[in-house]
Amino acid sequence: MVMVSPAVSLGVTPPVRWTAPEGDWTEPDLHLFPQDGHRYEIVDGSLHVAPPAPRWHDELVGAVVTTLRSAAPPGWWVCDRLGIGINQGAGGASNLVPDVTVLRPRSSGATWSDPADVALVVEIETAATRRYDEVLKPTLYAEAGIRDYWRVEPGPVLHVYELEAGRFRLRGCVEGAEQIRLDAPYPVRITPAAWR
């Protein structure tokens, strides 16, 4: 006699079971997780999970990508949710997934981008990611030598940071119908109200 789990007999997929690694979490471990809207990242060998983003967040990501792509010179790549591998090959490596990434021409094309190829990262802040986007991720991006960081908070309000002496320094904020011209990663005009 074959015993069938009640969940299987009802056509319900049982939950995936996994165990934590004995040491640090690494990039291959991220493949254990389903594509369920959660954001799975590794920070210094520790797993970080953010809940699925609200719909407005995804719409804002799309608007930022459209703005950056429309201004991008030939050869530049603007991607949403492209991973960046930081300190790969070392203990306590990090695998981060920014909301938007701008890659320089002639980037390696690796599944996990090398920070040397990254010109700009953009994080769209939600209630669940606010501290992560304001404090932890910018610190890691700065340590990796990524030159420009944008943080967009609901409103939307754009906060523009530039790497200076190993840390991000706030260069300015813009909101509403106000327009700002930025020269990095390449010349682009931004009007946050257009992102709504």
Within a domain: 109? yes
Q: Tell me the whole-structure pTM to 2 decimals.
A: 0.87
Within a domain: 23? no
- Band of residue 22 on the pLDDT scale cut at 50, 70, 90: confident
The most confident of the ranges 12-16, 28-32, 43-47, 109-113 is 43-47
Predicted confidence at residue 148, as pLDDT, reads: 98
Predicted confidence at residue 21, as pLDDT, reads: 81
Domain of 86, in residue numbers:
52-195
- Structural domains of the chain, count: 1
Predicted confidence at residue 161, as pLDDT, reads: 98
Predicted confidence at residue 11, as pLDDT, reads: 63
Within a domain: 15? no
**Arithmetic mean of pLDDT over the chain:** 90
Share of the chain above pLDDT 90, in %: 74
Within a domain: 43? no
Q: Which helix H or strand E contains 137, and what residues bound it?
A: helix 137-143
Within a domain: 34? no
Predicted confidence at residue 2, as pLDDT, reads: 46
Q: Cα(72)–Cα(41) distance, rounded to whole angstroms?
A: 28
- Band of residue 68 on the pLDDT scale cut at 50, 70, 90: very high
pLDDT in tens, 93-152: 999 999 999 999 988 878 899 999 999 999 999 999 999 999 999 999 999 999 999 999
- Answer yes or no: is pLDDT of 188 > 80: yes
Predicted confidence at residue 109, as pLDDT, reads: 75
Within a domain: 18? no
Burial class for 29, CB neighbours closer than 10 Å (0-12, 13-18, 19+)? middle
- Answer yes or no: is pLDDT of 66 > 80: yes
Within a domain: 167? yes
User: Both tokens of residue 133?
Assistant: 């986007």
Predicted confidence at residue 107, as pLDDT, reads: 87
Can you give the CATH number for the domain in which 97 is found?
Answer: 3.90.1570.10
Within a domain: 12? no
| CA 178 to the chain's CA centroid | 26
